[in-house]
């Protein structure tokens, strides 16, 4: 995919600002994601495979928190259903700007209509697939129910939500074990201890992480009939939630 090496936290900082999706992050984002999310490529690949299964003709597909558009491109490479539109959404102008430049070079049948806006304000309608990869984790906990309910309401029967998140564990020993293993993963990928600890501090107030159980309960609570965790690698998990078929009564 080609982006610069992520060395944002390589030099010691006097004060660590909250993590933001600004130009510096957008410049190194491919490298950052690949070295920071275990199983990232596997998740993106599977988004394409699920898209081939769940996208219905003449519907909308949403990529919420699209960043540089990895999920959008995976869907576009896998689907040629007639009359579909992909709507990638991100609040960061720097991300959307880079994504749009990539989109110009990408060949695919489906129309893509990027939007730079807050997903909590987004109308969702006539959707057969919604992808929300590693984005809900940045939303205030009080807003999450409303966002996920809005997705459910905007999906057609048999439509699906793919949700990927960094997760936490209820059990303190398990949380510590997985977190240490995650730092080992980052070290293996070339981040040093200073980078790991400064990035963790930058994310401390920004990430609103929840357990697998909390995610599954929310998905069921808003109305999804089928909910499964289909992938987990250390403290990163992906879920699929499917809306029931239309009833005949
Ligand atoms: C991928 N999905 O490559 N509204 C819109 N966008 C938002 C909001 C919001 N309220 N909050 C955060 N974002 C991508 C990776 S990154 C994950 C997603 C990560 C956006 C934010 O600007 C950023 O681009 C994205 O959500 C999260 O599969 O950095 O860990």
| CB of 118 shorter than 6 A to ligand 1 | yes
- For ligand 1, pick from 24, 43, 65 the residue to mutate: most ligand atoms within 8 Å of CB: 65
CA-closest residue to ligand 1 atom 9: 118
On whether the CB atoms of residues 120 and 89 are closer than 8 A, the answer is no
All residues at 6 or more sequence positions from 80 whose CB lies less than 8 Å from its CB, including other chains: 109, 110
3-state helix, strand, coil in the chain (%, to 5): 45, 20, 35
On whether the CB atoms of residues 31 and 6 are closer than 8 A, the answer is yes
* Tens digits of pLDDT across the chain (249 residues): 557 998 888 888 888 888 889 999 899 999 999 999 999 999 999 999 999 999 999 999 999 999 999 999 999 999 999 999 999 999 999 999 999 999 999 999 999 999 999 999 999 999 999 999 999 999 999 999 999 999 999 999 999 999 999 999 999 999 999 999 999 999 999 998 988 888 898 888 899 999 999 999 999 999 999 999 999 999 999 999 999 999 876
The H or E element containing residue 142 is helix 141-154
On whether the CB atoms of residues 167 and 235 are closer than 8 A, the answer is yes
| CB of 164 shorter than 6 A to ligand 1 | no
pLDDT at 202: 86
pTM for this prediction? 0.96
| CB of 36 shorter than 6 A to ligand 1 | no
Q: Ligand 1: distance of its center to the CA of 90 in Å?
A: 6
On whether the CB atoms of residues 88 and 99 are closer than 8 A, the answer is yes
| CB of 72 shorter than 6 A to ligand 1 | no
Percent of the chain at pLDDT exceeding 70:
99
pLDDT at 249: 64
pLDDT at 2: 58
| CB of 119 shorter than 6 A to ligand 1 | yes
């Amino acid at each position: 995919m080609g982006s610069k090496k992520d060395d944002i936290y390589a030099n010691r900082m006097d004060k660590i600002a909250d993590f933001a999706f600004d130009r510096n992050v957008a410049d190194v984002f491919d490298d950052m994601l690949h070295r920071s999310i275990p199983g990232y490529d596997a998740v993106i690949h599977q988004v394409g495979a699920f898209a081939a299964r769940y996208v219905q003709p003449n519907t909308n597909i949403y990529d919420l928190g699209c960043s540089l558009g990895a999920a959008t491109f995976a869907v576009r490479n896998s689907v040629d259903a007639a009359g579909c539109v992909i709507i990638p959404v991100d609040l960061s102008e720097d991300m959307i700007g880079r994504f749009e430049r990539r989109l110009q070079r990408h060949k695919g049948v489906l129309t893509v209509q990027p939007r730079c806006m807050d997903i909590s304000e987004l109308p969702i309608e006539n959707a057969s697939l919604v992808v929300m990869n590693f984005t809900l984790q940045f939303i205030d906990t009080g807003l999450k129910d409303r966002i996920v309910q809005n997705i459910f309401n905007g999906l057609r029967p048999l439509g699906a939500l793919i949700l990927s998140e960094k997760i936490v564990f209820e059990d303190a020993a398990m949380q510590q074990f997985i977190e240490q293993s995650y730092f080992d993963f980052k070290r293996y990928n070339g981040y040093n201890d200073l980078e790991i600890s400064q990035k963790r501090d930058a994310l401390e107030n920004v990430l609103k992480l929840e357990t697998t159980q909390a995610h599954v309960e929310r998905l069921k609570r808003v109305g999804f009939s089928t909910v499964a965790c289909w992938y987990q690698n250390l403290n990163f998990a992906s879920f699929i939630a499917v809306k029931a078929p239309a009833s005949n009564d």
